[in-house]
C-alpha cells in the first residue's frame, strides 16, 4: 500500500478509525491494521479542525507542522495553545475526546499508532493493567525511535515486541512526570498562563509563583522538562503568535509586535529575524 491513498474530504471517522476532520479539510492518508491496533499516516493542509476518540491509547508522531494560531482540548479542557510540532509526540489515552483546530496556510503531517491495552498483560506488572495519562508535545528520542521501528517492520512478532517496549517507555515517562516538580498538570497550567499573557511583560518570579516554586528551582526544573529556559520559551510563544498574525492578518507590524509583548518594533524585528532568517515584512510578503 502506498503511503497516501489520494486526496480525501471527510465528514466522518470511518476511514481513519476514530479520527475525523471537518468537511473542508484537504487530506492525504493511508491506514493499515495490525494484531493489536492500527497505523494511520495523515497529511492535512489548510485550515482544519480534527477530533480523536478511540477505544485504545493513541500515539501521535508528528513529522512536520506548527499550530501557530491553533488550540487543542482534551475532554473539554484546553490542553495546548500554539506550538511547534516538528518531530514531537502526543499521547491520547483510550476513550478520551481530543479536539484541535489549525489556522493558517501550512500543513501538518503525522502518524497515529493505536496499541491495544491488552498487551499490558505482558508487562512485569502482569494483569494489573496500564493507565496512561495524556501527554503533549513530548520530545522523547527513545519513544520516537521505537515508534519509527514499529511502523517500518512487517513481522507480527517483531512489531508486538516493539509495542510492548513502547508501553514500557510510556510508563517511564509517566513515572518521571509524577516525580517531577513540574508534572504535566502544572506545566499545562503554566503554558496556558503564558499564552493568556503574551500581550504583556512577564518575569521569572511571576512564572515561578504560578507553580509555587522559587525562581532558581523553577528555572532548573522548567529547562529539564521543556528543554529551553523560561525566557526562551516565552520568546518562542511570542514569535509563533506573531508569525501567525503576520501571515493571516493585515495588522501593522508594530501593532503585532506590541500585541505579542515585544517592547518595540525594532526589538521584535531583530528577534524575529534571528529566529526565521527574514524580517517580519519579508515574511508577510513571502506568504502572500
| pLDDT above 60 for 32 | yes
In the structure, what pLDDT confidence band is assigned to residue 1 with cuts at 50, 70 and 90? very low
Q: Say whether 102 sits in a helix, a strand or coil.
A: strand
Give the pLDDT score at 40: 92
Give the pLDDT score at 128: 52
Q: Say whether 111 sits in a helix, a strand or coil.
A: strand
- Chain mean position to CA 136: 5
| pLDDT above 50 for 14 | no
| pLDDT above 60 for 253 | yes
Query: E strands of 37-196, at which residues?
Result: 37-45, 48-52, 58-64, 66-67, 71-74, 77-80, 83-84, 89-92, 98-102, 107-114, 135-138
| Measured distance CA(191)–CA(207) in Å, rounded | 10
| pLDDT above 90 for 111 | yes
| Measured distance CA(192)–CA(82) in Å, rounded | 10
For the chain, the maximum distance between any two Cα atoms, rounded to a whole number of angstroms, is: 60
| Measured distance CA(35)–CA(99) in Å, rounded | 27
| Measured distance CA(210)–CA(213) in Å, rounded | 8
What is the average pLDDT across 75-83? 73
Give the pLDDT score at 180: 62
Domains and CATH numbers, the chain: 7-179 (2.60.120.10), 184-287 (1.10.10.60)
What is the average pLDDT across 236-242? 93
Burial class (CB in 10 A: 0-12, 13-18, 19+), 10: middle
What is the average pLDDT across 261-286? 93
Of all residues in the chain, the percent with pLDDT exceeding 70 is 83
Residue bearing the bigger pLDDT, 105 or 80: 80
Q: Enter the C-alpha cell of residue 276.
A: 526565521
| pLDDT above 70 for 9 | no
DSSP per-residue string spanning 6-35:
-EE--SSSTTTTSEEE-TT-EEEEEEEEET
What is the average pLDDT across 64-84? 70
Q: Enter the C-alpha cell of residue 95.
A: 476513550
Residue bearing the bigger pLDDT, 118 or 258: 258
Give the pLDDT score at 4: 29
| pLDDT above 80 for 35 | yes
| Measured distance CA(241)–CA(261) in Å, rounded | 10
Give the pLDDT score at 198: 94
- The DSSP symbol for 128 reads G
Ramachandran quadrant class, 227 (left: phi over 0; alpha: psi -120 to 50; beta: rest): left
Please give the model's pTM, rounded to 2 decimal places: 0.60
What is the average pLDDT across 111-137? 72
Average pLDDT value for the chain: 81
| pLDDT above 70 for 248 | yes
DSSP per-residue string spanning 155-216:
-HHHHHHHHHHHHHHHHHHHHHHHHSSS-HHHHHHHHHHHHHTTTS---HHHHHHHTT--HH
Give the pLDDT score at 7: 34
Query: CA torsion angle for 154, 156, 158, 161 (degrees, to 10)?
Result: 140
Give the pLDDT score at 246: 93
Length of the chain, in residues: 288
| pLDDT above 90 for 271 | yes
Give the pLDDT score at 113: 93
Strand partners, 51: 20, 99
Amino acid at each position: 500500500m502506498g503511503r497516501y491513498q489520494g486526496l480525501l474530504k471527510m465528514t466522518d471517522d470511518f476511514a481513519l478509525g476514530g479520527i475525523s476532520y471537518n468537511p473542508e479539510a484537504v487530506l492525504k492518508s493511508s491506514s493499515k491494521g495490525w494484531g493489536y491496533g492500527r497505523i494511520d499516516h495523515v497529511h492535512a493542509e489548510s485550515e482544519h479542525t480534527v477530533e480523536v476518540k478511540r477505544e485504545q491509547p493513541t500515539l501521535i508522531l508528528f513529522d512536520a507542522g506548527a499550530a501557530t494560531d491553533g488550540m487543542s482540548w482534551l475532554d473539554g479542557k484546553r490542553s495546548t495553545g500554539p506550538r511547534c510540532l516538528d518531530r514531537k509526540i502526543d499521547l491520547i489515552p483510550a476513550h478520551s475526546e481530543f479536539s484541535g483546530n489549525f489556522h493558517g496556510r501550512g500543513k501538518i503531517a503525522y502518524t497515529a499508532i493505536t496499541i491495544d491495552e491488552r498487551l499490558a498483560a505482558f508487562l512485569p506488572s502482569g494483569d494489573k493493567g496500564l493507565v496512561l495519562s495524556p501527554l503533549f508535545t513530548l520530545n522523547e528520542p527513545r519513544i520516537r525511535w521505537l515508534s519509527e521501528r514499529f511502523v517500518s517492520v512487517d513481522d507480527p512478532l517483531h512489531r508486538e515486541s516493539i509495542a510492548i517496549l513502547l508501553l514500557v517507555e510510556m510508563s517511564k515517562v509517566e513515572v518521571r512526570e509524577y516525580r517531577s516538580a513540574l508534572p504535566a498538570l502544572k506545566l499545562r497550567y503554566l503554558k496556558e498562563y503564558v499564552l493568556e499573557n503574551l500581550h504583556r511583560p512577564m518575569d521569572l518570579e511571576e512564572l515561578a509563583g504560578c507553580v509555587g516554586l522559587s525562581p532558581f528551582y523553577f528555572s532548573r526544573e522548567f529547562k529539564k522538562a521543556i528543554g529551553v529556559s523560561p525566557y526562551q520559551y516565552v520568546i518562542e510563544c511570542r514569535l509563533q503568535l506573531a508569525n501567525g498574525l503576520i501571515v493571516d492578518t493585515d495588522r501593522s507590524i508594530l501593532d503585532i509586535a506590541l500585541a505579542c509583548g515585544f517592547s518595540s518594533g525594532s526589538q521584535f524585528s531583530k528577534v524575529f529575524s534571528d529566529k526565521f532568517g527574514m524580517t517580519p515584512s519579508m515574511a508577510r510578503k513571502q506568504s502572500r
